[in-house]
Structure 1
């Protein structure tokens, strides 16, 4: 028969349980980080005192894609030496992983499409918990409750057409892209090279079936790397329709991005975070506060803001009010890497293997150093 526990063991066990409960209680009830109260001018002075330099790794498709952001930031804070390195997010994230492992970290801020990385980095304690001014106004799904990351902009992917090339009856749904009139006149980024484009195509297949993919492949679509490719092809007049790229839904220029009534498109909040081992945290904080400022959010290229207190232009609603944007679906999709890989290989069977050099160039291990 087992002996009864001794008084010492009971006391030790009870003390340990009480200590654990106390730790859990303190953790659960610990006050969250407060929202930034300093002005941009005060943050600017702190960044200058730190050294006046900032390096950002930004997800994107061309080396010049962040030039407008860089110019606007430099105009506001001319004494900050800002470097923004643009590369595919799927290269930036493993680049950062390698730099963290080897003790050679270059960027202070990462802003990427690979949403799953922010969850992973937070769990490993690699992100700085910080709430910029305006954090409380950010849509809940666009921020980490503890401030490990926040979205700084809304990006939406779908398809677009040339106003002149498409004529009086432009396509309005993905089914319209199967019209024989568009054969040989469509450009697309590879869905199996860019996870956001992959999610968009997966939504099309979910709604219309794999037969849609087979019929779309029969349209003699030209595929290339980079989500800039569809828009560039339509803008240049090379193609009438582009699939798998961003645009402004209220745009009235020569390239019209389609915001469908009920057909699927996809959108997400581009996440940004300060790395805990960043060499220049003061400059990084200045940048995030500037990105979330009302002035910046009101000037977004597509009219959408991550903030709930910024009213979109007339004719546009907040992006989270569009069920067909599948806003909640993309983070879950990005977290399921096995499903992502399965879909990549399946679309390769329909559209062929990915060809071509990466559009931002080959940047190596430590760009921006």
Structure 2
């Protein structure tokens, strides 16, 4: 008989002790908010007047508008917001959870698959904010472990000063006039862009991708980078489909959503960590994000059922060429996503360049 060293027995025993299932405690009932937002504000100020949020993104100042709006609405509060790529934020949150040193209050990330996992680990606060039941039902976890707070959409974008007519469908990107003039985010560097390529190629076939490569696009890191390059007058690039500028693009950008091709939308999720050091501040932030005041001010489709689409756009539920719930399933299948990532890595190489948070584009 093989005898295991004492340390092995200790490791096994420790693993058994720590491998518990918090769901079997049946203590998952949510906290249901019944205070006004001003009463929550008072509690958050009494707690210290601070809320720390980690927000997915790829440009350092992307959430400066949120910080300014929140602090203007609640002048006794300080919103500490750190923007980084979601696939890096989630690992660092895992590190905090593993070491017991949680210092983030709220996580707003693109990595939708992380939220069920964190909830199963008992890491998320079950909290029902004031407008929870006005959310689209598929945009919320029934106990308030997480919920969508904004709808992100990849649109076709072009610079109207550089080209008379922009592309309207994904097939248009293969037209001769766009050769050497496209800028695209590496699909093997961003899961939402990977999903976009998957949708397009499942519809138009591998031949479409071959045609796109023949156009010699400029590949970049970060989904905000293509828009930055489109703005620059000294670049030859004129169009992209791997970015978002909302539904009210600033001049001189034009946008279109394909009606034949399938485009990407999803509700960006938010959650409060159960061990958040500032839970009242996090509750205030989440209630503000889901308020009609904030949702009505955003140039995109709302996650709330009673906020109409911006002028000139149909309700998201009526648009046949997108499924805002499809990205969740894509993100959950990590094995398939990894196979796709490696497929594109083989075709276009590994992502080159600095992190988009560190470059100067």
Q: TM-score scaled by structure 2?
A: 0.89
Which residue of 186, 190, 195 maps to 2:191? 195
How many Å apart are 1:34 and its aligned residue?
A: 6.1
Partner of residue 200, structure 2: 204
Alignment partner of 1:253 is 2:258:
no
| CA–CA separation in structure 2 for the residues paired with 1:320 and 1:243 | 22
Partner of residue 313, structure 1: 310
Partner of residue 170, structure 1: 166
Alignment partner of 1:230 is 2:226:
yes
Q: Secondary structure at the match of 2:35?
A: coil
How many Å apart are 1:76 and its aligned residue?
A: 0.8
Structure with max Cα Rg: 1
Per mean C-alpha deviation after superposition, the further-off stretch among 267-276 and 233-242 is 233-242
Question: How do residues 8-87 of structure 1 correspond to structure 2 at under 5 angstroms?
Answer: 33=30, 35-87=32-84
Partner of residue 293, structure 1: 291
| CA–CA separation in structure 2 for the residues paired with 1:297 and 1:217 | 39
Residue by residue, what CA displacement relative to the aligned partner does 1:200-237 show, whole Å, maximum 9, x if unpaired? 01111111111111111111111111100111111223
Q: Secondary structure at the match of 1:100?
A: helix
Partner of residue 348, structure 1: 345
| CA–CA separation in structure 1 for the residues paired with 2:200 and 2:145 | 33
| CA–CA separation in structure 1 for the residues paired with 2:287 and 2:353 | 37
How many Å apart are 1:52 and its aligned residue?
A: 1.1
Change in Cα spacing, 1:63 to 1:247, as seen in structure 2 (3 Å) is same
Q: Secondary structure at the match of 1:38?
A: coil
How many Å apart are 1:164 and its aligned residue?
A: 2.4
| CA–CA separation in structure 2 for the residues paired with 1:202 and 1:234 | 24
| CA–CA separation in structure 2 for the residues paired with 1:57 and 1:132 | 19
| CA–CA separation in structure 2 for the residues paired with 1:97 and 1:230 | 30
How many Å apart are 1:51 and its aligned residue?
A: 1.1
CA contact (8 A) 1:188 1:223 kept: yes
Structure 1: unaligned runs, 5 residues or longer = 1-22, 363-369
Partner of residue 153, structure 2: 156
Change in Cα spacing, 1:252 to 1:85, as seen in structure 2 (3 Å) is closer
| CA–CA separation in structure 2 for the residues paired with 1:246 and 1:136 | 27
| CA–CA separation in structure 1 for the residues paired with 2:175 and 2:115 | 41
Q: Secondary structure at the match of 1:165?
A: coil
Alignment partner of 1:120 is 2:107:
no
How many Å apart are 1:251 and its aligned residue?
A: 3.6
| CA–CA separation in structure 2 for the residues paired with 1:99 and 1:35 | 27
Partner of residue 7, structure 1: none
Q: Secondary structure at the match of 1:192?
A: coil
Residue by residue, what CA displacement relative to the aligned partner does 1:343-363 show, whole Å, maximum 9, x if unpaired? 11111222222111212249x
Q: Secondary structure at the match of 1:185?
A: coil
Which residue of 82, 107, 128 maps to 1:131? 128
CA contact (8 A) 2:31 2:126 kept: no
How many Å apart are 1:58 and its aligned residue?
A: 0.2
Q: TM-score scaled by structure 1?
A: 0.87
| CA–CA separation in structure 2 for the residues paired with 1:233 and 1:141 | 35
| CA–CA separation in structure 2 for the residues paired with 1:160 and 1:138 | 29
CA contact (8 A) 1:186 1:243 kept: no
TM-align CA RMSD: 1.9
- Count, aligned residues: 335
| CA–CA separation in structure 2 for the residues paired with 1:188 and 1:268 | 20
| CA–CA separation in structure 2 for the residues paired with 1:349 and 1:301 | 37
How many Å apart are 1:31 and its aligned residue?
A: 10
